[in-house]
Amino acid sequence: MTRFWLVRHGPTHAKAMIGWTDLPADLSDTAALARLTVHLPPVAPVISSDLARAVATADALGPRLRLPHDPALREIHFGHWETRTFAQIEAESPAEIRAFWDQPGDTRPPGGESWNDLAARTHAALDRLHGAAPDVIVVAHFGPILATLQRAAGLTASQVFAHKIDNLSVTCLTLTPPKVHAINHRP
């Protein structure tokens, strides 16, 4: 059994749809980072998405065993919607963007991936990590954290979207057996 400590990266302050766009994290809240570092298990290995905001956040957790960055832990790929606001996309494609958020599953943004695509690659990444250590710290993004929570809690995509996942928060869970220990905890 591996307990996953899912940490959302530091804020980017972007006001648009940011998935695979590689923006840096604002890690100026050193007090929050210090509390987060103390809260996490001290000997757990750390893995992160390969995007700069996740890598930098993982680096800020102090000296820990680091596993190679994993692109399977990236945020959902918004395709042609990347770096655009909801309002901009809604003005051009109202039915597509509403279906993407209101009926998550197989709906894809043009050139992007669906919720089910994101969930499948996230689940595969965590399945590879299962059993690697009693505790594993995963620094990732809103989407992969929600997809993992969806699996552990047995929720639908629509149900899991009701959860908030703040920057620098911890969602702690196991997948085998499925159990949620904490959601969106801010140490």
The domains of the chain, with CATH numbers, are 3-185 (3.40.50.1240)
- Alpha carbon 5 to its chain's center: 11
| Tokens matching residue 9 | 């990266």
For residue 141, what pLDDT is reported? 98
pLDDT digits (tens, 9 = 90+) for 1-48: 999 999 999 999 999 999 999 999 999 999 999 999 999 999 999 999
Interhelix angle 142-153/115-129, rounded to 10 degrees, is 80
Tokens 């979207």 correspond to what residue? 161
pLDDT of residue 65: 95
Q: Which residues of the chain have pLDDT under 70?
A: none
What is the sign of the dihedral through the CA atoms of 27, 29, 35 and 36? negative
